[in-house]
Structure 1
């Protein structure tokens, strides 16, 4: 409770900025549960995206030798400077979507553990950006809008299943760890949140020759998700092609599995390579 009171007092000095989608976590019980789920070890390379007012930054910095934080709002970083744990921080005032994570990896020679309470307005774009650097990431723990989290873990046939589900599951094993009600943030958002864990596959269950081909197929398929795939993907595959790959031409995009999308991707890649 003391921690909550301190955060709220600090909020009066730094009102959340709407353009950055700031909603500060203010529940000590949730904070403790999150830290247990992350389970940081002293010598690991941890990176926090959007430290905010330090709800996670402070307790995690105590558990590690150093903590890298990336924050676009430099006013918040000025607030962090007034805290005793600041000496443990390696601070970047930067747009995370332009940040070079490879430099951190090369400096530490360790896989990165990335976590954060992500702004709703960039969460999906950021996750896709991080997938491009998946080879240097050990795991990711994020607080996300509930709808986005459900898309990450959705199975075929589920309304939440879509392009993000396929790309995320191609790269990672994704789990929902905690459901977090809106009342645990200030200001209170209009939606509930979910804390998730994304662990890159060690032994990839799927293979594609070119991830860009997979990305393009899923984009086209889900732009027309109400159409059967014989129609939505007709610019890429004939009905004969779909049957050849054991895909029912009358099914819709949301009924095709991740493995089947990968098969479609590889079929199209080889077809384009021949031409």
Structure 2
């Protein structure tokens, strides 16, 4: 078990199931001319087989103990290593003069997965795709549709930025140390050119969903009653009897656009 011990604060569970690893590699399908970035190489479960296919792999790993371990592998010469926090890392510095889009993948620690994905959405113009192993609950939130119990702010923001697919269910027994929850491997492809949704300001969309989901069990006319009159909600096509979890992303975009066009200040509600 000693080889699985890392710094506890990083909450790492290492993928060790060979069949799952092979399925993930086949799906990622790395190519020689692509710029691939792995977040958290860990014990090299994905790193090594990908290095067998391509000449260079960028890895971001905050745990110095794991980086020392990586140096013992023969494929280490193929790695471009950044010992940094993936949440604070400047991904734009990876762009070359060709400005090719980067591909990001990794088995993400549970404690940083949601904030990391949200931060990467803001860099979607330089990302070709993202392929992540996530806690099952987080994956379900990412892909949830209106009316689903997992549908939330994360669902709306994620699906605004990306097309998202669940690729592979991965039970907890496939990891060491074994976590208490199962995982799901997901694929996210940013809308770099055409998005099915439109909002003038993504920050306003984030704010309005924040306010709405604070009271997710209340009807929207109550949770957003201080911003929109019932008349305006009806004009925007919102059923007054629906709750926040029943409203589509398109309609949340309509709400946010109304706020922008009418120069409504949300600060007094956000910081209440």
Aligned to 1:95: 85
Runs of 5+ consecutive residues of structure 1 not aligned to the other structure: 1-10
Dislocated runs of 4+, deviation >4 Å: none
Taking the aligned partners of 2:3 and 2:147, their CA distance within structure 1 comes to: 47
Secondary structure at the counterpart of residue 272 of structure 1: coil
Of 67, 70, 75 in structure 2, the residue corresponding to residue 77 of structure 1 is 67
- Contact 1:181–1:193 (8 Å) recurs in 2: yes
Aligned to 2:218: 227
Runs of 5+ consecutive residues of structure 2 not aligned to the other structure: 266-272
- Contact 1:45–1:108 (8 Å) recurs in 2: no
What does residue range 174-193 of structure 1 map to in structure 2 within 5 Å?
174-193=164-183
Taking the aligned partners of 1:156 and 1:269, their CA distance within structure 2 comes to: 24
1:138 aligns with 2:128: yes
Q: What is the CA deviation profile of residues 161-185 of structure 1, one whole-angstrom value per residue up to 9, with x for unaligned ones?
A: 0100000100110000000000000
- Contact 1:16–1:187 (8 Å) recurs in 2: no
Secondary structure at the counterpart of residue 208 of structure 1: coil
1:199 aligns with 2:189: yes
- When structure 1 is superposed on structure 2, of 265-274 and 74-83 the one drifting more is 265-274
RMSD of aligned Cα (Å): 1.3
- Contact 1:176–1:196 (8 Å) recurs in 2: yes
Aligned to 1:8: none
Taking the aligned partners of 1:142 and 1:82, their CA distance within structure 2 comes to: 25
- Contact 1:14–1:76 (8 Å) recurs in 2: no
Number of residue pairs aligned between Structure 1 and Structure 2:
264
**Offset of residue 250 of structure 1:** 1.8
Aligned to 2:9: 19
Q: What is the CA deviation profile of residues 5-48 of structure 1, one whole-angstrom value per residue up to 9, with x for unaligned ones?
A: xxxxxx52451332101100001100000001101101100000
Secondary structure at the counterpart of residue 206 of structure 1: coil
Secondary structure at the counterpart of residue 170 of structure 1: helix
Of 44, 47, 57 in structure 1, the residue corresponding to residue 37 of structure 2 is 47
Q: What is the CA deviation profile of residues 107-137 of structure 1, one whole-angstrom value per residue up to 9, with x for unaligned ones?
A: 6621010000000011010000000100000
Aligned to 2:206: 215
Normalising to structure 1: TM-score of the pair?
Answer: 0.93
Aligned to 1:120: 110
**Offset of residue 225 of structure 1:** 0.2
Aligned to 1:110: 100
Aligned to 1:4: none
Higher relative helix content? 1
Taking the aligned partners of 2:65 and 2:22, their CA distance within structure 1 comes to: 26
Taking the aligned partners of 2:218 and 2:259, their CA distance within structure 1 comes to: 20
Normalising to structure 2: TM-score of the pair?
Answer: 0.94
- When structure 1 is superposed on structure 2, of 56-65 and 79-88 the one drifting more is 56-65
**Offset of residue 262 of structure 1:** 0.6
Aligned to 1:250: 241
- Contact 1:114–1:137 (8 Å) recurs in 2: yes
- When structure 1 is superposed on structure 2, of 210-219 and 17-26 the one drifting more is 17-26
**Offset of residue 273 of structure 1:** 7.1
